[in-house]
Amino acid sequence: MGIPSLPSTGVFKKLFPYAVLALFAILILAVVRTSVFGQVDPEKHIYFEIVFLLLLAVLGEIAVTHLKQPTVMILMVLGILISPSCFSATWSALHLPGAAPSIFQNEGIINVFAQLGAVILLFKVGLHNKLEGVFALDNLFVAACGVVVPFAVGYLYASFTGGDFAYSMFLGAALTATSVGVTVALLKEFGLLEQRFAQIIVGAAVIDDILGLLVLSFVLNVTSGSMGIAPLLITGIMAAVFLFGGVLAGKYFVKYMDSDWSSSTRAILLALAFMLAYAYIAEFIKLSAIVGAFLAGIVLNRSRHIKEIEEKTTGLELLFMPIFFISLGLLVDVNALAEFAVPILVLTGIAFATKVIPCALAAMAVRLKKKEAIAVGVGMVPRGEVALIIASLGLSTGVLGAAQYSIISAMALLSTFIVPPLLSRVLKK
């Protein structure tokens, strides 16, 4: 009996790459399975999470092309579908064995990436705005209407539904917030950032953050039992010093950055450091980091390197922005939506009406057309992460219970989710 002959060298060369690819595919499947269903060192798992989020962003871009819906909305919906609460609810509804898979083990790092996305987005918007245009009287008037009305209505609603004084104050404060990230992304997608109504939205939203800071300081002061005016004055003074001092110091910084020795590469590195420094200072004095980044963008608008800064920060925008919008979906608690459906829907309706009506009327009063005024009102609706911060403060200080926190946080996210389809319709018209 003869010895069987081995495959020829030519056949071996043809089959070898396919065998290696098959082994590599098995390795990848094993890694993914362990990463989703098993235990992996969190420091290593973060790479899987970032890759997953970026691939999800690619899927979102494909969905945008086929569904003809705004990128922001698609990414937020994808975020909901992969959120821990949605996975848990789906696992339970299908009666699958074991615990639901956990894709994200490093929420803190994901949150940092998401915050960087919001910071870079507002920084880029600031590069296209001038200081005198943002803090104009028209913007201040719209912003004031968008703070006073929601606070008053929120306080009265909470009081009439049996809420105590502290809860009513916190609910009013949460309703004053404006999270401009989603609106700005839509305006940018439609190429309307240069329009006057868009600049009013951005300017009023930034002023809203400042006024919201003063309202929150007042609420924390009153609910803690101290009726002194000092904390409110200190907060207002710090905000004013940061805004005016930041602009004056920024002029010297731009002059230094534009000096002859500074190459475009050094200028971009300095610009990024400047942006993050202003974001940190704003966060340190309890003003939103996006306000600091926006102010940095406005200051750098005067630099001769503005075109290079705009072009070379696009990569950062592509990396971090999708993570920001997906993270908004990840925060949605599907179980809370089901448990407190009625109060959440009522509160979301109040949140919508108390921004759209007063801000649209204020916009018409400053000579905007009706459709542009409606766009301003709808654009001011999202409460997003700003209201979530206020709610978390109420929870940590013991003013809000778990149920009240869930209702306010769900309202903040729902008010953010309803804006993309509505604002898209308004902008198309």
DSSP string, 20-55: HHHHHHHHHHHHHHHHHHS---HHHHHHHHHHHHHH
Sign of CA dihedral 67, 70, 74, 77: negative
Three-class DSSP category at 101 = coil
Q: What structural domains and CATH numbers belong to the chain? A: 123-174+200-428 (1.20.1530.20)
Q: State the CB neighbour count (10 A cutoff) for residue 100.
A: 17
Helix (H) or strand (E) holding 7: none
List all residues 6 or more positions away from 26 whose beta carbon is below 8 Å from its beta carbon.
none
Residue 44 identity: K
| Cβ atoms of 282 and 242 closer than 8 Å | yes
What is the token pair recorded at 32?
């993914």
**What 8-state DSSP symbol labels residue 303?**
-
Contacts of 125 (CB under 8 A, 6+ apart): 184, 188, 193, 202, 294, 297
Q: How many beta carbons lie within 10 A of that of residue 154, not counting itself?
A: 26
Q: Is 398 helix (H, G, I), strand (E, B) or coil?
A: coil
Q: Rounded CA gap, 232 and 216, in Å? A: 9
Splitting the chain (429 residues) into consecutive groups of 10 residues, what average pLDDT does each group show? 58 78 88 82 85 87 74 81 83 78 79 86 81 80 92 92 85 85 80 86 82 73 64 77 90 84 77 93 82 88 86 86 82 78 92 94 92 92 78 77 82 85 82
Query: Is the CB of residue 212 less than 8 Å from the CB of residue 386?
Result: yes
pLDDT at 78: 86
Residue 399 · residue 158 · CB < 8 Å = no
Token digits of residue 69: 């819906």
Which amino acid makes up residue 265? T
Q: Are the C-beta atoms of 361 and 152 separated by less than 8 Å?
A: no
List helix spans (H) across 366-401: 370-379, 384-396
Question: What's the confidence (pLDDT) of residue 285?
Answer: 83
